[in-house]
Amino acid sequence: MQRTAMLAPLLASLSVFTAAVPAAAQDWEFKVTPYAWMSGLEGDLGTIPGFPSQSVDLSFGDIWDDLDYGFFLFGSVRNGPLVIYFEGSVVQTDSTLKIGGPEVEKVGIKSRTSTLAMAAGGTISQSPRHHVDLYGGFRYWNLDNEYRVTTTSGKIKKDTDASWTDPIIGVAGRYAINDRWEAFGAADIGGFGVGSEFQWSLTAGLNYAFNESVALGVGWRVLDVDYDDDGVVYDARQSGPILGVTFQF
């Protein structure tokens, strides 16, 4: 009941804002940006219910050593003042720690973290050189872990997973420095006790346009989430440089 009360003003304001946006009358514009995120990870993680969380502080180099794969994608669809944003990622790591004890020889952990965000909104400020969008939507999280313990008497395997969905509200904007260079930025907050207790994200950088269809982007991204439910703790911050290529059509 308390969570519903917290969300009611947010949903009401977004509904009024959407109704106030004039009908689109321009051509559709699509942007797709596959990118690499060289992030580190720090915080408290506890993905096995019943076991205490552990503090972690990993650089991108530490994660790279155990990385199986990582995929990151951002996209937008725009028509006049109306805009839809999409963001997805999946990262899998596989690490093995040799114990060498009298009973436990080694422990292996395969972890896959996936996120999916979608939001819709509209332009609240624009000129020939800039535009600013306000949006609302959700970010879905999924954590999937596989633990392998090798003992003197055999192998033990255990799988755990957790998932939740955070409502989010945010703002995004771009500013044309000249014909080639463009600054961009986006920030959102969410959770509000519905999924996680709180989460926030911040992205900023520069794009260099090779032509009207292709641009190279560099920047920095931070994603912070505080989740604690049913013995699963994911109170962590990821941050690091991003490098991507935007295709516009």
pLDDT digits 0-9 by tens, 92-145: 999 876 666 666 667 778 999 999 999 999 999 999 999 999 999 999 999 998
**What integer pLDDT is reported at residue 13 of this predicted model?**
42
Q: Which helix (H) or strand (E) holds 245?
A: strand 232-248
**What integer pLDDT is reported at residue 149 of this predicted model?**
75
Q: How far apart are the C-alpha atoms of 202 and 4, rounded to whole Å?
A: 26
Task: List, for residues 163-210, the tens digit of each pLDDT value.
Answer: 999 999 999 999 999 999 999 999 999 999 999 999 999 999 999 999
**What integer pLDDT is reported at residue 50 of this predicted model?**
62
What are the angstrom distances between the C-alpha of 80 and each of 122, 165, 243?
9, 29, 28
Task: List, for residues 211-247, the tens digit of each pLDDT value.
Answer: 999 999 999 999 999 999 988 899 999 999 999 999 9
- Model confidence at 14: pLDDT above 60: no
**What integer pLDDT is reported at residue 104 of this predicted model?**
63
The full set of domains in the chain, from first to last, is: 2-248 (2.40.128.100)
DSSP string of 29-68, one letter each residue: EEEEEEEEE--EEEEEEE-STTS--EEEEE-HHHHHHHEE
Q: How far apart are the C-alpha atoms of 131 and 24, rounded to whole Å?
A: 16
Contact partners, residue 112, CB within 8 Å, separation at least 6: 90, 91, 92, 142, 143, 144, 145
Phi/psi of residue 61, each to 5°?
Answer: -60, -40
CB atoms within 10 A of CB 144: 17
**What integer pLDDT is reported at residue 154 of this predicted model?**
74
**What integer pLDDT is reported at residue 49 of this predicted model?**
62
Task: List, for residues 22-80, the tens digit of each pLDDT value.
Answer: 444 568 999 999 999 999 999 998 876 666 788 889 999 999 999 999 999 999 999 99
Residue 19 — pLDDT band, cuts 50, 70, 90? very low
What's the rounded mean pLDDT across residues 145-169? 85
Q: How far apart are the C-alpha atoms of 206 and 159, rounded to whole Å?
A: 41
